[in-house]
Amino acid sequence: EGSVRIEFYDTREVALEELRNKVSNLLQESVLFTTTVRENIRYGRLDATDEEVEESARAAGAHEFIMALPEGYDTELGARGDTLSGGQRQRIAIARAMVRNSPVIILDEPTTGLDPASRELVQDSLETLTDGRTTLAITHDLAMIRGLDRLLWLEDGRIVEDGSPAELLAAPDSRIAHWARAQEEHTREAV
C-alpha cells in the first residue's frame, strides 16, 4: 500500500540499476575488502581519480589517519578491514559514499558499537556526507534522531507516528517521547 518516491519518481517505475546508482548505503558494519585503502574508497565509483579519492577521504575525516598508515592510501587492509578501528572503518565507508556522490543516502545504525570519541568523529563525517542530500536514517540513536527533519515511527510495517523530532519528543504521550525517556533513564543508570 502506498509508494516510495525519489525526486517525484515512483521507485517501482525506475530501472533497478538506475535506482541503485542514485543511492549510497552506510551500514552498522561496513564492508571493507582485502585491498588498499584507496581501492576500498574507489569502490564507491570505480572511475574516481586518486585526487577524488583523497578529497573524499579528507571530507570524511579519514585523510589524517590514512596518511599515518604504513603506506598511506596504498596500505593493504586485512580481511574486512580488521586492521582498522571501528571508527576508522566507518570513515573509510563514508569516504566511499562521498566519492559515489549519490543524491540519496541510507544510514542503518552507522554509529552503533563505537566508543564516544569515534562516534563523534563519525557523526561529524555523516553531517558532511548528508548535507544537501535526501537521507533515510534507520536508528536507535537518540542523538541522531534529534538532528533529523522528519521522523517516522514504524510498527508492524505501518507508520504510527510522523512528524518532526522536536514535536514528537515534546508530545508526552508519543511513542518516541516514551522511548527517549527510557533511553535517557538507561544512560543515567549506566553512569
10-residue mean pLDDT profile of the chain (191 residues): values are: 79 87 87 93 96 96 95 91 86 94 90 81 85 88 82 91 94 92 79 67
Report in angstroms the alpha-carbon separations of 145 from 57, 83, 141, 160: 25, 31, 6, 16
Q: What is the pLDDT of residue 191?
A: 67
CA distance 172 to 54: 47
Q: What is the pLDDT of residues 149-162, one digit of tens each?
A: 899 999 998 999 99
**Look-up of cell digits 571493507:** 32
Q: What is the pLDDT of residue 188?
A: 75
Q: What is the pLDDT of residues 95-133, one digit of tens each?
A: 999 999 999 999 998 888 778 888 888 888 888 888 888
